[in-house]
Amino acid sequence: MARVLVAVTGGVAAIKAPHLLRLLRAQGHEVRVLATPRALEFITPLSLAVAAGGEVATEEAWFRPDGRALHIELARWADVVLVAPATADAMAKAALGLADDLLSATLLAGAKRVAWAPAMNEAMWLSPRTQEHARTLEGMGHALFGPAHGPLAAVGEGEGWGRMLEPEELLERLQAFLTPKDLKGLKLLVSAGPTREYLDPVRYLSNPSSGRMGYAVAEAARDRGAEVVLVSGPTALPAPWGVEVVRVESALEMREAILGRYSWAQAVVMAAAVADYRPAEVSREKEPKVAVEKVLRLLPNPDILKELGENKGSRVLVGFAMETGEGLARAKEKLLRKNLDLIVLNWVNREGVGFGSFENEVVLLLRDGRVLELPRMPKRQVADRILDLVKEFWKG
């Protein structure tokens, strides 16, 4: 966890700062808050102080009675300064090296890492000078989170670019910004979610997979610097930012998408729950309901993971084995039969770790004979443990 200085500048989005502060603290970050005079026209110091769990740094407290300078103290304390919302004025001052207020002086005094969440009217964001300042800040190693396209605050402006990202997404971007890029250079292909095998236009065969495990792998790899392509079956999950997402429905569509990108990939994590069978006949029209027994004839779907293993080359290949009982022997057999580097064994019928859950409890079986049992943990943490081993094989 990091020491985060949230700097709130004078935009309407300042009203979202307390929520952002609470999210940061809930995730375990140590938080302090700085507010410019204009910010305090939108939000009260008390609201910020309660959310941050401490006093608000303001212009009035810039120089302490004992001679200490607050901008020096804050710059040395913070692991990262997150300016949210960030006005065009604040960005311009930082880009030009000005130091005529507490925020700009703090940034100039040696702030270790800086991230900006721009929030302004579209005309101001798209101004050539603002774009020049944004490029200057990125050239200095600062990060820009957004802005987003959406409803603008000023009356009559409609929608446009310049809206501050929501606090939840800022938290994700900050985590990625702070994560060491130990997978930089890796090209990773991930599959996730279920597939649907249609009987007619409204009925299909599928499974309860939520896609959360595969999405967690894609997001963790992105944060660690990898270039990621995510091939996803139908899920309710939003597309992860910074990841190329390829949407598919059937097992045959997933096979085509995976094989079409296999030559690009250096590592593949096949977390999708791909249907083993598909209907032999698919009706183009909705079948009417009839009160008689109906027999379905099913055809086996291609074994995508087996095909990948047969053409593995130097790639790192990771598979999943979902079992309802003692599946260790079957997982080991699958590891060898499909030419995998790693297989992730999990049990879909255990309470709290089955389909749709936010946690997982897995056993990692490696081609070199190692067996690593992981305790129950969030799927994001499981994803990082899997990627640690992908890195080991990739670097090795």
- Tokens 């409609």 locate to 158
Residues 6+ apart with CB under 8 A from 318: 267, 268, 269, 270, 340, 341, 342, 343, 344, 386, 390
Q: Could you tell me the sign of the dihedral formed by the alpha carbons of 72, 78, 81, 84, in that order? A: negative
The two counts, helices (H) then strands (E), for the chain are 13, 22
The helix (H) or strand (E) run that includes residue 392 is: helix 379-395
Task: Establish whether 207 is a catalytic residue.
Answer: yes
Quote the CA–CA distance of 335 and 329 in Å, as a whole number: 10
- In the set 121, 207, 311, 339, the catalytic residue is 207
Contact 193/246 with Cβ under 8 angstroms? no
On the CB side of 353, CA atoms within 13 Å amount to 18
Start-end of H helices in 63-159: 70-77, 88-96, 102-108, 122-125, 128-139
- Tokens 């101001």 locate to 124
Residues 6+ apart with CB under 8 A from 52: 6, 21, 25, 31, 32, 33
Quote the CA–CA distance of 117 and 150 in Å, as a whole number: 15
Q: Which two tokens stand for residue 275?
A: 């249907």
Quote the CA–CA distance of 74 and 109 in Å, as a whole number: 9
Quote the CA–CA distance of 203 and 14 in Å, as a whole number: 47
Residue type present at position 199: L
Quote the CA–CA distance of 268 and 229 in Å, as a whole number: 10
Residues annotated catalytic, as ranges: 207
